[in-house]
Amino acid sequence: MLSAQERAQVAQVWDLIAGHEASFGAELLLRLFTVYPSTKVYFKHLGFCPDETQLLTHGRRMLEAVGVAVRHMDNLRAALSPLADLHAQVLRVDPSNFPLLTQCFQVVLASHLQGEFTVEMQAAWDKFLTGVSVVLTEKYR
Amino acid sequence: MALSAADKAAVRALWRKLGSNVGIYTTEALERTFVSFPATKTYFPHFDLSHGSAQVKAHGKKVADALTLAVAHLDDLPGALSALSDLHAHQLRVDPVNFKFLGHCLLVTLARHYPGDFGPAMHASLDKFLSHVSSALASSYR
């Protein structure tokens, strides 16, 4: 899956954003809901117009999960198994939505990392997030 | 999901800001597309696709000119892009899924260069605009 160099690039990007899980996660969700309003149906618990506190709380939770994935790139399936159960049995997010989140994530990274979000970094991160998405939707059937 | 007046105003404002640099960003977007989505390279077997390639830069300029044309005709994208749509449908035969990849990489490129101008609302407007461009380009396929 990910080559050694790609793993290094994923880890490098993570080092740059670690510590900002809440604010980046909140921005990620805000972009997702603004650009793809249909995704809001999966976040009814955040209310119709999630306020900043709710976005920050949920955003941090999501980014912390990404952090877990970064630390376990060698074994995403095991590390994300509880989350995969959650998505399959409870949340049931249609798999077509994951690329939308992946896209918004890259826009967040590009906007904050700018010159550091090189062509190669984007490709590595896209592969990584796609891998995470596959694991999270694997138990659906 | 037609482009609202606010979407059109946002896209026009951003394009004014990009000025004559649109080609630089479309070239970077092409480069990102080729690296993140390598299958797209199959449409360019005759190109040198290495970093800094003059051919990619020239192609970036073509894409830039087409998008600038689109921005100038936001009220009639299908009409303005009809010749390009014929070209993509009948000659180039690019699978329309690839338009999304280039669109996405252009969003990433613009976010990277204009972070202060690329909040969620602008992101949404530009994504909508690029979706409409893609639809217009794919309209001659069948």
Report whether pLDDT(B54) > 90. Answer: yes
A28, A36, A111, A127: best to mutate for the B interface, most B CBs within 10 A: A111
For A16-45, how does the pLDDT look when each residue is reduced to its tens digit (9 = 90+)?
999 999 999 999 999 999 999 999 999 988
Cβ atoms of A95 and A137 closer than 8 Å: yes
Neighbouring C-alpha atoms within 13 Å toward the C-beta of A121: 21
A19 touches chain B (CB under 8 A): no
For B125-139, how does the pLDDT look when each residue is reduced to its tens digit (9 = 90+)?
999 999 999 999 998
Helix axes B22-36, B5-18, angle to 10 degrees: 100
Cβ atoms of A50 and A33 closer than 8 Å: yes
For A61-86, how does the pLDDT look when each residue is reduced to its tens digit (9 = 90+)?
999 999 999 999 999 999 999 999 99
Query: Among A35, A112, A113, whose Cβ lies nearest the Cβ of B124?
Result: A35
pLDDT of amino acid A77: 94
Report whether pLDDT(A117) > 90. Answer: yes
For B56-109, how does the pLDDT look when each residue is reduced to its tens digit (9 = 90+)?
999 999 999 999 999 999 999 999 999 999 999 899 999 999 999 999 999 999
Percent of chain B with pLDDT over 90: 92
Task: Assign 3-class secondary structure to A72-99.
Answer: CHHHHHHHCHHHHHHHHHHHCCCHHHHH
Query: Among B36, B111, B113, whose Cβ lies nearest the Cβ of A123?
Result: B36
- B97 three-class SS: helix
Which of B1 and A84 is assigned the larger pLDDT?
A84
A5, A35, A38, A104: best to mutate for the B interface, most B CBs within 10 A: A35
Neighbouring C-alpha atoms within 13 Å toward the C-beta of A75: 3
- Break chain A down into helix, strand, coil percent, rounded to 5: 85, 0, 15
- In terms of phi and psi (left: phi > 0; alpha: psi -120 to 50; beta: otherwise), the region of B30 is alpha
- Would the CA dihedral through B39, B45, B47, B52 be positive or negative? positive
pLDDT of amino acid A52: 85
Tell whether ipTM is more than 0.95.
Answer: no
B3, B108, B126: best to mutate for the A interface, most A CBs within 10 A: B108
A117 touches chain B (CB under 8 A): yes
Measured between alpha carbons, how far apart are the two ends of chain B, in Å?
A: 22
pLDDT of amino acid B1: 67
Q: Give residue B38's pLDDT band: very low, low, confident or very high (50, 70, 90).
A: very high
Q: Give residue A49's pLDDT band: very low, low, confident or very high (50, 70, 90).
A: confident
Query: Among A34, A110, A126, whose Cβ lies nearest the Cβ of B121?
Result: A34
The structure's pTM equals 0.88
Residues of A in Cβ contact (< 8 Å) with B4: none
* Integer Cα distance of A40 and A49 in angstroms: 9
Number of Cβ within a 10 Å radius of residue A5: 10
Report whether pLDDT(A112) > 70. Answer: yes
H helices then E strands: how many in chain A? 7, 0
Residues of A in Cβ contact (< 8 Å) with B31: 119
B112 with A126: Cβ contact below 8 A: no
